[in-house]
């Protein structure tokens, strides 16, 4: 197996949690939140898991945006989908709960 193809990718990104009124979460997220990340659109089920890192003790509430670090866990073809300016869907199952935008790719 070629490890370069499936290695983790870490980015600095802006995450905007949708308000509860727009299908978003009812509760805030905290450190080590692990939702699904969908780079291909609402009807595509090809997703990866990514760990959203918030500073200890901090929260991101529905309707708020924040710059965070996200590590996408190894997934074949991921590197081609993650680049500066790229937006994607953050989901809990099939439910859209947030939108992400890559600010900077941190790992090669």
Please report, for the domain that includes residue 53, its CATH number. Answer: 2.40.30.10
d(C-alpha 61, C-alpha 13), whole Å: 16
Res 47: pLDDT: 87
In the numeric block, which tokens belong to residue 75? 């997934």
In 18-94, which ranges are E strands?
A: 36-38, 48-53, 65-72, 87-92
User: How many domains is the chain built from?
Assistant: 1
pLDDT at 96 over 50: yes
In the predicted structure, residue 24 carries a pLDDT above the cut 80: yes
pLDDT at 67: 96
* pLDDT reading at 63 higher than 60: yes
Which pLDDT score, from 0 to 100, does residue 108 have?
60
Going by pLDDT thresholds of 50, 70 and 90, the confidence category of residue 6 is low
Q: Is a pLDDT exceeding 90 seen at residue 71?
A: yes
User: In which domain, by residue range, is 91 found?
Assistant: 3-105
Confidence of residue 107 (pLDDT cuts 50, 70, 90): low
How many CA atoms does the CB half-sphere of 58 hold within 13 Å?
11
Cβ neighbours of 13 (radius 10 Å): 25
- 76 closest CA partner among 9, 7, 6: 6
Q: How many CB atoms lie within 10 A of CB 71?
A: 17
**Mean pLDDT confidence for 55-69:** 94
Task: Provide mean pLDDT across the span 51-62.
Answer: 93
């Amino acid at each position: 197996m070629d490890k370069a193809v499936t290695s983790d990718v870490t980015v600095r990104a802006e995450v905007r949690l949708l308000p509860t009124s727009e299908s978003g979460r009812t509760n805030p997220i905290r450190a080590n939140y692990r939702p699904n990340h969908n780079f291909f659109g609402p009807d595509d089920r090809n997703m990866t898991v990514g760990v959203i890192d918030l500073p200890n003790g901090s929260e991101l509430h529905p309707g708020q945006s924040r710059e965070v670090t996200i590590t996408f866990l190894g997934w074949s073809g991921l590197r081609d989908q993650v680049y500066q300016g790229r937006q994607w869907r953050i989901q809990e199952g099939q439910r859209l709960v947030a939108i992400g935008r890559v600010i900077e790719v941190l790992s090669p």
